[in-house]
Amino acid sequence: MEKRKIDWKLMGKTITRTFKYTFKKYKWHCLVVVICIIATSLATLQGTLFIQKLIDDYIVPLLNSETKDFTPLAHALMGVASIYVIGIVCSYGYNRIMATVTQGTMRDLRDDLFEHMESLPIKYFDTHAHGDIMSIYTNDIDTLRQLISQCIPQIVNSSITIITTFTSMFILNVPLTLYTLAMIGVMLLVTTRIAGRSAIYFKKQQAELGRVNGYIEEMMEGQKVIKVFCHEDKAISDFEVINNELRESAKKANSFANITMPINHNIGNISYVICAIIGAIMALSGFSGLTLGTLVSFMTLNKNSTQPVSQISTQTNAIVMAMAGANRVFDLLDEESEVDNGYVELVNAKEDENGNIIEADKRTGMWAWRHPHKADGTVTYTKLEGDVTFDDVDFSYDGKKMVLHNIKMYATPGQKIAFVGSTGAGKTTITNLINRFYDIADGKIRYDGININKIKKGDLRRSLGMVLQDTHLFTGTVMDNIRYGKLDASDEECIAAAKLANADSFIERLPDGYDTVLKNDGSNLSQGQRQLLSIARAAVADPPVLILDEATSSIDTRTEKLVQEGMDRLMKGRTTFVIAHRLSTVQNSDCIMVLEQGRIIERGTHDDLINEGGRYYQLYTGKKA
Amino acid sequence: MLKNLIAQIKQYKKVTILTPIFTALEVFMEILIPFVIAELIDKGIEAGDMGQVYFYGSIMALLALLSLLFGILAGLFAADASSGFACNLRNALFSKIQTFSFSNIDRFSTAGLVTRMTTDVTNMQNAFQMSLRIAVRAPLTFLCSMFMCLFIDVELSMIFFAAVIILGCVLFFIMSRANKIFTKVFEDYDELNASVQENISGIRVVKSFVREKFEDIKFKKASGGLYKMFMKAECILAFNNPVMMLTVYSCIIMLSWFGANHIVFGSLTTGELTSLFSYVMSMLMSLMMLSMIFVMISMSSASAKRIAEVLNETPDISDPQDPIKEIKDGSIDFNDVNFSYKHGSGKKVLKDINIHIDSGETIGIIGGTGSGKSSFVNLISRLYDVDSGEVKVGGVNVKDYDLELLRDKVAVVLQKNVLFSGTILDNLRWGKEDATLEECKEVCAQACADEFIERFPDGYDTWIEQGGSNVSGGQKQRLCIARALLKDPKVLILDDSTSAVDTATDAKIREAFAKKIPGVTKLIISQRISSIEHADKIIVLDNGMINGFDTHENLIKNNAIYNEIYEAQTSAGGDFDEE
């Protein structure tokens, strides 16, 4: 069983933080809202008070008078009406402003979440299930919206009612007030008890919902396999078991939540009866100066004081759930962003008359690294060429288990380096170090002679092109997707890139050509076509260094040929690191690195390695040497 | 649409009926209590009569206890009924999906089905519970209060009946206006979330192109748009409370004025006036509640629609009347077969297929993407039904067989194959539930899976993660083949099932097939010539038609398409692949 009690301290912290977040931008709005709420509840209160006065101060005298003059009543009603009008106006004001505050805060929160998420290191996305991150944007934000828009105003409202009624009660009679306070204490105690129990089951329900969710996902994903193996009945009976467990905990959680209201409500009723009896005894015996008239008024206040408490108590579940959601939201916001201490920048460059590289103020097609030296305040320029060196690089994902050991390699501009080896040998990891998706544990990686830790991450990545095995396309037109590589590319540039990537011919055949809208990660395109688009996207960026991950999935021979040609054309004249799956790619490489368990075990050209008769030979021929 | 959903209440019918009954009893108690309070004050306290105080006090305490009892029971029944209803809905959905044929499955996305069974069902559960409790409480409170008012003073009641009707109309107007906008808002909201999803899964692309700022700006624009839409709806809803207050306050003032008149002229007592005030309040409260339900129900109606969509789907393949329970041999015939995924209307995927395959033959199938290879083999185990013509296995039309028998004897290793969380042994036993360890080892040897399984520390008890994410693609494919072999089939279909297995192992598997299961008809789809060149015959599919059906040697000579593929793969275009 989980912790029996709610972590009130953490909850308090989260509530404060939620308030702070809202106040940051909507300080004045919130102030006006609070004033409006106070005004509204005061207007309601004077209404309730007036009903009491109505009989004593107006109707009874009228009954007794001869003239039956209704003017004093008319005046009084006009006064009440005008206060009501203020109340109504304030009520509209508070609802309207609250909408701005709630929706505005939601928008800010979404924007902040997204902006922060984009700044997080790749590691975060590797270690968190994508479904969980998504649910922060959908479920958690939504519970928070309810908290801000409903719970908080209600709590403010109820608190005001409680304060005003208790003040009046104290004025009327102290001992009875203390008694009422004690009863409210009982109510609160019962509420927290129930809320605690219910929170446990709500947690359990969430966990079981997750299990059911996981099972459904797995089965739906494998639905066709289930059919092929006639496994339907087994799947149903397994599902019924976990589904029933979910029902049990949902039933318990809801039971506790459902009984809170009737329990509180009737404790209120009992409290009323006891108050009446104690009060009557006190009044009849003349104790503490209580008169029967005062007791009648006090009884009304007693009823009024327990109502807001039971109202708040029904909110506790919503608050507990919202706080759990808010915690997840803040957890994401507290994740540490990718650190970038780089100071070497990529700038447009040109050569002056002496052949020195100097900075240019517009696009020249030539790029240089601008390297300021702190020690002597000078700035040097190095031409961007695409020379990459690994010097004794070690790497580990978790700081414990080393994934790469003593990687040493170099690629001079225009060279093609192929990585081969089994799954998990570290091929993809190496490429993820070049663009600093991950930072190395030991050793150095140099780019054009500069330690890549000194280069601004954005500039480093801009100079590297990537074509990944899982192509990701974005919602938008085909043209938008190609332009992703270079935002200011003209249509002509994009089409030229598509032609280079061999994508032009299939795009032209799409219903709207380059303006065809892609949705759901380009699900209306075939795997091969998506690959061609991602090549075009890299081509338009025109980077000096390329990282390619060849697709292993079965594309038919014709499309595969197109993809291959596209890749070959893209690689021409660029330093290329390629995770190779095809013979032709490997054979044409300047150097092949054979990786096994995070180490380079063989290196050389295709012919060298075949002659060596080692692991590469074995991979190539499928025979043991 | 709703009928199908309501039918799922099933064994919870009793609690479903009990909930509103006990809620009603609770409401009665709540209405009686103010009555007793009035008596307690008038006859007890104001008169200073301790005996009356005790009398009415104990009645009230009794009523409170009853109300507590009814309230708790209603709450418990509601929880039981709603969670039971949700449980039944999920079971019904799940069982229904199990009856789906492949073409039914194709119509829904996995994510869509998962959402229906989780979020949508939860929405229904909440709406169901709310309706059970409030749908009774609100109208009942309203009616009882109305009755009480009429009982006290008909003339005064008319004042606020008018007010209540006006308020009802205004609330309805506000809600329906807001509702229209909300439907649109939720569409936009889905789109915004889709773009977040896109960014999460494509984060490497975003980062490698340094497009974080670009995505930020795009997102802020979309979220700003959503904000405006939300505000539009909320601004309409902001009138809700003030309108409600306006009505209440007008009623109070009018009641004060006319009530005072009535009292003065003797047709009303002061105690009755106080009661009238509290009944007006509860009538208006119940109206407010009704408008809330209105919003909730309209919000959950989208969920109800999506659930009903699944429940109403009719599975388009079912067992024949008198199914044949035995399959003679593994021969396969296609007679004038035409097939399209949208029967009759859509593009034809297979056209005029006529072919005969002898029992025990090994047949290779090759062709480009979309040439109809998978569709061709899927017809054999009746995963889809033909548009016209007939498919026969063992000389009998597949439509006449018992489905389970047919699918057991025609084993398919699908292109998109899946392993389930569980041990390797669990996964293998999908093929045959009571298979012994020896039987499992035997089929794994045939599929060349034994070598790597035995290298795992836990051997056959190694735990496979969901989707088989902890084994490599090649290992997964070999396990899937072994699983299918365990069915002891008459026909074995491998739909591109060795694409991630290296060439040498691929050859070993084929060798084992020839030696161990010579009597089984084997159909092998592959992109690799090397996987099929040794087959007895090879089918070349192009654009849904059979372009060639012959041996490797003859096809090289006579078939242009086959020749082209062969050339492409032998001239340094082959795979360099390892598991």
Report which of A184, A145, A135, A147 is spatially closest to residue A163, judged by C-alpha positions.
A184
Mean pLDDT in residue range A408-425: 82
The alpha-carbon gap from A59 to the nearest alpha carbon of chain B, in Å, equals: 6
> Is residue A522's pLDDT more than 80?
no
* Nearest-5° Cα angle at B382, B377 to B384: 85
Q: Is A447 helix (H, G, I), strand (E, B) or coil?
A: strand
Whether residue B94 and residue A216 make contact (CB cut-off 8 A), yes or no, is yes
Which of chain B's residues have a Cβ under 8 Å away from the Cβ of A223? 97, 100, 105, 110
Chain B residues touching residue A130 (CB < 8 angstroms): 197, 200-201
Of A14-18, A312-316, B536-540, where does mean pLDDT reach its minimum? A312-316
Pair of tokens at residue A530: 């998506």
- Rounded alpha-carbon distances, angstroms, from residue A246 to A140, B14, B120, B308: 21, 21, 15, 22
Q: pLDDT digit string (tens) for B238-250? A: 888 888 888 888 8
Read off the pLDDT band of B461 (50, 70, 90).
Answer: very high
A545-549/A464-467 β-pairing = parallel
Q: How many CB atoms lie within 10 A of CB B502?
A: 18
B71: which chain A residues are within 8 Å (Cβ-Cβ)?
259, 261-263, 265-266
Query: CA–CA separation, B131 vs B292, rounded Å?
Result: 10
**Integer Cα distance of A451 and A471 in angstroms:** 30
Q: What is residue B179's predicted lDDT score, i.e. its pLDDT? A: 77
Q: What is the pLDDT of residue B364?
A: 93
**B560 contacts chain A (CB < 8 A):** no
Q: How many CB atoms lie within 10 A of CB A238?
A: 14
Question: Is B524 near chain A, with CB under 8 Å?
Answer: no
Is beta strand B388-393 parallel, antiparallel or unpaired with respect to B332-339?
Answer: antiparallel
The stretch B215-228 carries a mean pLDDT of 90
Tokens of A14: 């989260």
Does B99 lie at the interface with A, CB-CB under 8 angstroms?
Answer: yes
Helices (H) and strands (E) in chain B, counts: 21, 12
Whole-number Å distance between alpha carbons of A400 and B254: 79
Which of B215, B383, B472 minimises the CB distance to A227? Answer: B383
The pLDDT of residue A556: 66
Which residues in chain B are contacts of A96 at CB distance < 8 A?
235, 238
> Which of A340, A527, A557 would best serve as a mutation to test chain B binding (most B beta carbons within 10 A)?
A557
The answer, yes or no, to whether residue A554 has pLDDT greater than 70, is no
> Which pLDDT does position B523 carry in this prediction?
94
pLDDT at B70: 94
H or E segment and range at residue A395? strand A388-396
Q: Which ipTM value was assigned to this complex?
A: 0.81
pLDDT exceeds cutoff 60 at A517: yes
User: What's the mean pLDDT in A377-391?
Assistant: 86
CA distances from A145 to A101, A202, B66, B371 (A): 10, 19, 37, 52
B548 at the A interface (CB within 8 A)?
no
Q: Is the pLDDT score of A36 beyond 80?
A: yes
- The secondary element (H helix, E strand) that includes residue A145 is helix A141-146
Query: Which residue in the set B70, B193, B564 is minimally distant from A137, CB to CB?
Result: B193
- Separation of CA A246 from chain center: 26
Chain A residues touching residue B249 (CB < 8 angstroms): 47, 81, 84, 87-88
A81 touches chain B (CB under 8 A): yes
Residues in A touching B299 (Cβ below 8 Å): none
Identify the residue with better confidence: A66 or B439: B439
Residues in chain A: 625
The Cα–Cα gap between B287 and B142 comes to 8
CA A254 to chain centre: 28
- B332's enclosing H/E stretch is strand B332-339
Structure confidence at residue B576 (pLDDT): 54
B507 compared with A221, residue with greater pLDDT: B507
Of all residues in chain A, what percent carry a pLDDT higher than 90?
9
Distance CA A590, CA A578 (A): 11
Q: Searching chain B, which residue's CA lies closest to the CA of residue A296? A: B41
Specify whether the CB–CB gap between A416 and A588 falls below 8 A: yes
pLDDT higher than threshold 90 for residue A162: no
Phi and psi at A450, nearest 5°, equal: -105, 135
pLDDT tens digits, residue range A558-571? 777 788 888 888 88
By three-state DSSP, how is residue A429 classified?
helix
pLDDT value, residue B82: 93
- Least Cα separation, residue A353 to chain B (angstroms): 34
- What average pLDDT is seen over chain B? 85
Q: Across the interface, which of A246, A251, A263 has its CB nearest the CB of B80?
A: A251
In the structure, what pLDDT confidence band is assigned to residue A299 with cuts at 50, 70 and 90?
confident
Sign of CA dihedral B64, B68, B70, B71: positive
B339, B135, B79, B188: which is closest to A317 by C-alpha? B79
Query: Which residues in chain A (401-440) have CB-CB distances under 8 A to chain B?
Result: 420-424, 435, 437
pLDDT of B452 > 90? The answer is no
Between these two residues, B453 and B208, which has the higher pLDDT value? B453
Contact residues, A window 130-169, toward B, CB-based 8 Å cutoff: 130, 133-134, 137-138
| Residue tagged 């609802």 (tokens) | A95
B267/A contact by beta carbon, under 8 A = no
Per-residue pLDDT reduced to its tens digit, B161-205: 888 888 888 888 887 888 788 778 877 887 888 788 888 878 888
Residues of chain B contacting residue A81, judged by C-beta atoms under 8 Å apart: 249, 253
Check residues A221 and B541 and name the one with the higher pLDDT.
B541
Cα A245 from Cα A243, distance rounded (Å): 5
Strands B388-393 and A476-477: unpaired
List the one residue out of B275, B36, B56 whose CA is nearest residue A277. Answer: B56
Per-residue confidence band for B579, with pLDDT thresholds at 50, 70 and 90:
very low
Instruction: Check pLDDT > 70 for residue A3.
Output: no
pLDDT band at B296 (very low <50, low <70, confident <90, very high): confident
Nearest residue in A to B206, CA atom? A118
Contact: A117, B125; criterion CB under 8 Å: no
Q: What is the pLDDT of residues B503-556, one digit of tens each?
A: 778 888 988 988 888 889 999 998 778 888 889 999 998 888 898 999 999 998
Q: Are B358 and B331 in contact (CB under 8 A)?
A: yes
At B571, is the pLDDT very low, low, confident or very high (cuts 50, 70, 90)?
low
Taking 90 as the threshold, does the pLDDT of residue B349 lie above it?
no
Average pLDDT rounded to a whole number, residues A457-466: 86
Interval A73-89 mean pLDDT: 91
Task: Count CB atoms within 10 A of the CB of residue B342.
Answer: 12
pLDDT for residue B4: 79
Give me the pLDDT at residue A624, please.
46
A53 in contact with B at a CB cutoff of 8 Å?
no
- Which residue's entry shows tokens 């003030």? B242
**Of residues B450, B530, B463, B464, the one with CA closest to residue B498:** B530
Q: Beta strand pairing status for B521-525 and A591-596?
A: unpaired
Kindly state the average pLDDT of the residues A79-89: 91
Residues 6+ apart with CB under 8 A from A491: A479, A514
The domains located in chain B, with CATH, are: 2-312 (1.20.1560.10), 332-570 (3.40.50.300)
- Say if residue B85's pLDDT is above 90: yes
A95/B238 CB distance under 8 A: yes
Per-residue pLDDT tens for A234-263?
A: 889 999 999 999 999 999 988 988 888 889
**Under an 8 A CB cutoff, do A220 and B472 touch?**
no
pLDDT band for position A199 (50/70/90)? confident
Tokens read off for B258 = 């006319």
- Counted across chains A and B, CB pairs separated by less than 8 A come out at 424
Contact A87 B249 (CB under 8 A): yes
Amino acid B572: pLDDT: 47
Q: Which residues of A touch B253 (CB under 8 A)?
A: 77, 80-81, 84
Least confident span in A65-79, A297-311, B219-233, B418-432: A297-311
Among the partner residues B48, B95, B277, nearest to A51 by beta-carbon distance:
B277
Alpha helices in A485-592 (DSSP H): 491-500, 504-509, 527-541, 557-571, 583-587
